[in-house]
Amino acid sequence: MNTSFSVPEPLPQLMKVAEEVKKASISLGQATNEERCNALINMAKALSDKSSEILEANLIDLERSSDEGLGKSLISRLQLNEAKLQGCIDGVLKVSELSDPVGKRQLHRELDERLILERVTVPLGVLGVIFESRPDALIQIASLAIRSGNGALLKGGSEARETNQAIMQAFVGGLSNSSIGAGALSLLTTRQESLGLLRLDGLVDLIIPRGSNELVRFIQDNTRIPVLGHADGICHLYVDSSVDIDQAINLALDSKIQYPAACNAIETLLIHEDIADLFLQKSLPMFSNAGVILRGDKKSQSLGVENPATDSDWATEYLDLILSIKIVSNFDEAMEHIRKYSSRHTEAIATTDKAVAEKFLSSVDSAGVYHNCSTRFADGFRYGFGAEVGISTQTLPPRGPVGLEGLVTYRYFIRGEGDLSKDFVSGSRTFSHKDLPL
Amino acid sequence: MNTSFSVPEPLPQLMKVAEEVKKASISLGQATNEERCNALINMAKALSDKSSEILEANLIDLERSSDEGLGKSLISRLQLNEAKLQGCIDGVLKVSELSDPVGKRQLHRELDERLILERVTVPLGVLGVIFESRPDALIQIASLAIRSGNGALLKGGSEARETNQAIMQAFVGGLSNSSIGAGALSLLTTRQESLGLLRLDGLVDLIIPRGSNELVRFIQDNTRIPVLGHADGICHLYVDSSVDIDQAINLALDSKIQYPAACNAIETLLIHEDIADLFLQKSLPMFSNAGVILRGDKKSQSLGVENPATDSDWATEYLDLILSIKIVSNFDEAMEHIRKYSSRHTEAIATTDKAVAEKFLSSVDSAGVYHNCSTRFADGFRYGFGAEVGISTQTLPPRGPVGLEGLVTYRYFIRGEGDLSKDFVSGSRTFSHKDLPL
| Residue type, position B22, single letter | K
CA–CA min distance B47, chain A (Å):
28
- What is the rounded distance in angstroms from the CA atom of residue A234 to the CA atom of residue A269? 11
Strand A408-419 to A115-123 pairing: antiparallel
Distance CA B424, CA A224 (A): 39
- In angstroms, the CA A343 to CA B324 distance is 49
Question: Do the Cβ atoms of A418 and B357 come within 8 Å?
Answer: no
CA A54, A58, A62 angle in degrees (round to 5)? 175
pLDDT of residue B221: 86
Closest CA to B230 of B199, B204, B264: B264
Domain with CATH 3.40.309.10 in chain A: 235-377
A310: exposed, middle or buried (C-beta count within 10 Å: 0-12, 13-18, 19+)? Answer: exposed
Closest approach of chain A CAs to the CA of B395, in angstroms?
7
- Whether B4 shows a pLDDT value over 90: the answer reads no
Alpha carbons B63 and B68: distance in angstroms, whole number: 9
Taking CA atoms, A302 is separated from A239, A276, A280, A309, B150, in Å, by: 18, 11, 11, 13, 42
Residue among B365, B383, B425 minimizing CB distance to A117: B383
CB contact (8 A) between residue A413 and residue B125: no
Q: Which of B180, B174, B197 has the alpha carbon at shortest distance from B89?
A: B174
> Which residues in chain A are classed under CATH 3.40.605.10?
12-221
Quick check: A247 and B411 CB within 8 A?
no
**Whole-angstrom distance, CA of residue B36 vs CA of residue B100:** 9
User: Is B410 in contact with A431 (Cβ distance < 8 A)?
Assistant: no
Could you tell me which residue, B73 or B111, shows the higher pLDDT? B111
A152 Cβ neighbours under 8 A, 6+ residues apart: A21, A126, A127, A128, A129, A141, A142, A145, A184, A185, A186
| Interface contact A103, partner B, CB < 8 A | no
- Mean pLDDT by 10-residue block, N- to C-terminus, for chain A (438 residues)? 60 93 94 97 97 97 94 89 96 96 97 98 96 89 96 94 97 93 92 90 93 89 90 95 98 96 96 98 98 98 97 95 98 96 97 98 96 97 93 95 96 98 97 97
Pairing of strands B293-296, B307-308: parallel
- pLDDT of A2: 38
How many CA atoms does the CB half-sphere of A242 hold within 13 Å? 8
> Which residues in chain A are contacts of B361 at CB distance < 8 A?
411, 413
Q: In which band, very low, low, confident or very high, does the pLDDT at B1 lie, cut at 50, 70 and 90?
A: very low
Give the confidence band of B224 by pLDDT, cuts at 50, 70, 90. Answer: confident
Nearest-by-Cβ selection for B377 from A124, A368, A414: A414
Distance from CA of B247 to the nearest CA of A (A): 6
Q: Is B148 exposed, middle or buried (CB count within 10 Å of its CB: 0-12, 13-18, 19+)? A: buried
Task: Specify whether the CB–CB gap between A231 and A211 falls below 8 A.
Answer: no
Helix (H, G, I), strand (E, B) or coil at A23: helix
Confirm or reject CATH 3.40.605.10 for domain B12-221, answering yes or no: yes
Closest CA to B240 of B350, B317, B130: B350
Judged by CB atoms closer than 8 Å, whether chains meet at B409 and A397 is answered as: yes
Chain A positions in Cβ-Cβ contact with residue B199 (cut-off 8 Å)? 1
pLDDT at B155: 94
Domain B235-377, what architecture? 3-Layer(aba) Sandwich (3.40)
SS3 (DSSP) at A233:
coil
Give the integer Cα–Cα distance in Å for B192 and B156. 12
pTM across the whole model: 0.93
- Average pLDDT estimate for B254-258: 96
Residue of A189 and B312 predicted with greater confidence? B312
Statement: residue B286 has pLDDT above 90: yes
- At A148 the three-state DSSP class reads coil
Q: Which residues, 6 or more positions from A370, have their beta carbon under 8 angstroms from its beta carbon?
A: A346, A347, A348, A349, A377, B413, B414, B415, B416
Residue B116 has a CB neighbour count (10 Å cut-off) of 17
Q: How far, in whole angstroms, is CA B132 from its chain's centroid?
A: 15
Using a CB–CB cutoff of 8 Å, tell me whether A421 touches chain B.
Answer: yes
Kindly report the backbone phi and psi dihedral angles of residue A97, in degrees, each rounded to the nearest multiple of 5, phi listed first.
-90, -10
User: Greatest CA span in chain B, whole angstroms?
Assistant: 80
- Can you tell me the distance from the alpha carbon of B145 to that of A107, in angstroms, rounded to the nearest whole number? 24
Q: Which residue of chain B has the CA closest to A224? A: B224
Q: What is the pLDDT of residues B352-362, one digit of tens each?
A: 999 999 999 99
DSSP state of A263: T
Closest CA to B63 of B79, B52, B44: B79
> What's the rounded Cα separation, in Å, for the pair B412 and B106?
10
Q: Is B285 in CB contact (< 8 Å) with chain A?
A: no
Do B110 and B433 meet the contact criterion of CB atoms below 8 Å apart? yes
Contact B205 A125 (CB under 8 A): no
Nearest-Cα distance to chain A for B299, in Å, is: 27
pLDDT tens digits, one per residue of B230-248: 888 999 999 999 999 999 9
Find the mean pLDDT for residues B14-26.
94
Cis status, amide bond into B437, omega within 30 of 0: no
Mean pLDDT of chain B: 94
CA of A64 to nearest chain B CA: how many angstroms apart?
Answer: 35
pLDDT tens for B375-424 read 999 999 999 999 899 999 999 999 999 999 999 999 999 999 999 999 99
- ipTM higher than 0.85? yes
In this structure, what is the dihedral angle of CA atoms B164, B165, B167, B169, given to the nearest 10 degrees? 160
pLDDT of residue B5: 56
